Amino acid sequence: MTDETPRTVVLGFDALAFRYLDRFAEVTPNLQSLREDGVEASLRSTFPPWTGSAWPSMYTGVDPSHHGVYSFFQYDHYPDEGSVITRNDVDAPALWNYLNAEDVSVAVMNVPVTHPAEPVSGALIPGYLATEDSPGYPEAVRDELSEAIGEPYRIYSSAETSTDKEEKLAGYLDLLDLRRRAALSFLDSTDWEFAFVQVQKTDAVFHNFDDDAAFRKVYATADRLVGHVLDAVEDDVNVVVCSDHGIGPTRGHRIYVNEVLRRHGYIETTSERSHDSLDTVKADLTSAETSDGTEPTALSRAVTKMGLALDRLGVSPADVYAAARRVGVGDRLLALAPSELRGATGENVDWRASKAYCRSSSRLGIRINLEGREPDGIVPQSEYEAVRDDIVDLLSGLRTPDGKPAFEFVKRREEVYDGPHADRADDVLFLPRGMDNQIAISLYGRRFLSVDTYDHKRDGVFIGTGPGFESDAPETLSLTDVAPICMALLGRPVPTRMTGRVPGGLLSVPVDECDYPDVDFGTDEVEPTDDEEVTERLEDLGYL
């Protein structure tokens, strides 16, 4: 980087959405100023649009089929053999790895899926999915930061497990303020030319509250972070604001995909739980909350107590649910019941005996239990394409109770992905219609359940301002475009390995490309965490 090349700072906000920036314009003056002074565009997330796969796509500049991470779990075969993802599962250099190779120093704070911390020229503090005590790089950086801000640096809120709404929201706001103070100290104490600070609670508040006042407070507090960071850096710095996906009301249906498959002969069942999901694996990362990421209500807590009492009398949750269905309140019971009760209301998928199944609600796909690929595969290779065709036809024709198509598209995986890790994707992929429907993998004897909540949308936010930006921006950018844009802003060639591109007319600086053949990334370190001590942290952000 030459002396004339401005520094670049990226401010990443999970699930930031223009609809809420517009709605809360009066309490987000700093973000509004960036919008007025710079360029903005909708930022189309990768498929699937979830934190576990999206932030790695943003920081590597490639889609999941090129970096290999599709969800929060890495599956070689069956869901009960999965492991929680780490940076070492992301098989591609990050933006900061390329920049280090070009002698550009970096400061990276709180970016999801960056644990265990890899060696960098500069400093890196991991974010979401790391354990609360996960070290950064250099190893002493968190202790030094804690000393500088006068309290322990935290990845997660101190009130993450609270069942009191006011306490929980106060914890979110406190964590945002801590992130603001930590970011200022971190940027001041680190020698950097590229900085990346990420904020997570702009997502979590929508999964845990149904309250515009709560949303407004989180946006206002996040905006304060933006203002203070901008005040702390030079006037000629390039600023990128981005989100991994959007968020908004979800008023459609929860689709029980495995129930649909069961009714067409693809699923065999077992009475034993055979899958550790985000809902069932216990830990102290965040909290033991309900399966949609919300707090247990007084009524749902009462349902839990009732279920435990009935269990002592030999009455199973399945018996209760069957009785509730007979009197027409089965769906309401499912909507109220906490995960521990819901998980016992019916049979579970027998992964090894089934022909095809949905492994995870966030993967948005169907895996075929194929002979020669899965250890206990039962679908012959000669029938693979015929089974895929049948599943594509089945799901393409599926209608929700309101008569609308359940899915926006249903495709074979090679129609969506072309990277070297495409074989890790599921065999048939689908996108819920308008992202207004949710996916569930449990078996309750019902195919659909009405939902009224908030969930991810495909389009997030891109805002760019500074001397490196022109006044022209396309209506929509890809999430994978952010990394090459940052490379060009810093005067460095865009790696040809990146699938994202810099759109013409967006930047005022020249854009070159080159191969980076020997870029080190990741680490041999293995963070000593038990999956059963990691997964529950995902609940607070609604990834269930």
Report the half-sphere exposure of 123 (CA within 13 A, side-chain side).
24
List per-residue pLDDT tens for the chain, 544 residues long: 455 789 999 999 999 999 999 999 999 999 999 999 999 999 999 999 999 999 999 999 999 999 999 999 888 889 988 888 999 999 999 999 999 999 999 999 999 999 999 999 999 999 998 999 999 999 999 999 999 999 999 999 988 777 799 999 999 999 999 999 999 999 999 999 999 999 999 999 999 999 999 999 999 999 999 999 999 998 899 999 999 999 999 999 999 999 999 999 999 999 876 554 443 332 334 333 333 333 444 444 444 444 444 444 444 444 455 555 555 555 555 555 555 445 545 689 999 999 999 999 999 999 999 999 999 999 999 999 999 999 999 999 999 999 999 999 999 999 999 999 999 999 999 999 999 999 999 998 889 999 999 999 999 999 999 999 998 889 999 999 999 999 999 999 999 999 999 999 999 999 999 999 889 998 877 665 545 445 555 555 444 4
Q: Looking at residue 234, what is its pLDDT?
A: 84
Contact present, 355 and 265 (Cβ < 8 Å): yes
Q: In what order do the strands lie in the sheet with 238-242?
A: 122-126, 106-111, 194-199, 8-13, 238-242, 459-465, 39-44, 476-478
Q: Looking at residue 5, what is its pLDDT?
A: 81
Backbone angles phi, psi at 60, to 5 degrees: -100, -20
Strands 356-357 and 365-368: antiparallel
C-alpha distances out from residue 328 to 31, 168, 334, 443, Å? 48, 34, 12, 18
Q: Provide the whole-model pTM.
A: 0.87
In degrees, rounded to 5, the angle at the alpha carbon of residue 59 between the alpha carbons of residues 128 and 481 is: 135
Q: Looking at residue 222, what is its pLDDT?
A: 98
Give the helix/strand (H/E) hosting 376.
Answer: none
Report the distance separating Cα 449 and Cα 406, nearest Å: 12
Average pLDDT value for the chain: 87
> What count of other Cβ atoms lies within 10 Å of the Cβ of residue 242?
25
Report the distance separating Cα 422 and Cα 67, nearest Å: 9
Q: Looking at residue 536, what is its pLDDT?
A: 52
Torsion 180-57-462-20 (CA) sign: negative
Beta-carbon contacts of 189 under 8 Å, excluding residues fewer than 6 positions away, are: 144, 145, 148
Q: How far is CA 502 from the centre of its chain?
A: 24
Report the distance separating Cα 240 and Cα 229, nearest Å: 12
DSSP, collapsed to helix, strand or coil, labels residue 64 as: helix
Structure tokens at 142: 């968190």
CA dihedral 213, 49, 430, 498 (to 10 degrees): 160
Beta-carbon contacts of 457 under 8 Å, excluding residues fewer than 6 positions away, are: 17, 49, 245, 246, 247, 248, 435
